Amino acid sequence: MELQNSSNGIRHRPIPLRVFRGLICLLVLLATAFMMLVYWGFLSAVVLRLFSIHYSRKATSFFFGAWLALWPFLFEKINMTRVVFSGESVPARERVLLKATHRTEVDWMYLCDLALRKQCQGYIKYILMGCSLMKLPVFGWGFHILEFISVERRWEVDESNIHKMLSNFKDPGDPLWVALFPEGPIDLSELKWIRSKKYAAETGLPILKMVPLPKQKGFCACLADFVGFD
């Protein structure tokens, strides 16, 4: 049964059904992630890497790209989320530095949707909080295998770590999408919004209307490495 929202015509399913559907999606992701890591992750990211880093990344991108395609499928088809892309076209099969806003917990999912449409979902590298996400059970291991870049919000540590990780991808034969959130790897809240406006007022920076002030050091470091690839 679906409920009709009389004000704007949008249909909503009952909350218990949506919760049940969300739990099913989470169980599917956990089960498939475990199988992918056990059966293919070790083989492609550890064993094959002993012989060739390039082909190890190729194999890892293939296997995990197939698994990562599950996320947009569940997000769009099962969860019935409509995703619309507009603006300039992102070139397929080329090295891309993605800069995105971070207003919700699922912003990274939209980038995954875009990468899937460009057949690059296995090559996307997110910049994540190392002290939290990289230590998650099952998923944290997957993030390490996929060579995601971890940050600690301490520039004296993050600068060298970003350069070190990106320097491993100088081979032009290795496709690369680096996704970062210049506002920080956090979702937007009222308290964070107030802090951003206060900091902007104190430092003479413009007060942005739609997003908090971005943190430019990480973006500039990534951009410098991308320029160095050429």
- The residues pairing with 97 across neighbouring beta strands, listed in sequence order, are 178
Query: What distance in Å separates the CA atoms of residue 92 and residue 121, rounded to the nearest whole number?
Result: 11
Query: pTM score, two decimals?
Result: 0.74
Query: What distance in Å separates the CA atoms of residue 175 and residue 120, rounded to the nearest whole number?
Result: 8
CB contact at 8 A, 93 and 210: no
Instruction: Give Cβ neighbours of residue 30 (< 8 Å, ≥ 6 apart).
Output: 138
Q: Which two tokens stand for residue 90?
A: 């992102």
Query: What distance in Å separates the CA atoms of residue 8 and residue 17, rounded to the nearest whole number?
Result: 21
With residue 149 as reference, give the H or E element that holds it: strand 149-151
Among the listed residues 225, 139, 146, 153, the one whose alpha carbon sits nearest the alpha carbon of residue 183: 153
Q: Per-residue pLDDT tens for 48-69?
A: 888 888 888 888 888 888 888 8
Q: Per-residue pLDDT tens for 165-223?
A: 888 888 777 778 888 887 765 556 677 777 777 877 877 777 777 777 777 788 888 88
Q: Per-residue pLDDT tens for 119-132?
A: 888 888 888 876 67
Neighbour-count burial for 152-181, b at 16+ CB within 10 Å, e otherwise: eeeeeebeebbeebbeebeeeeebbbbbbb
pLDDT reported for residue 4: 36
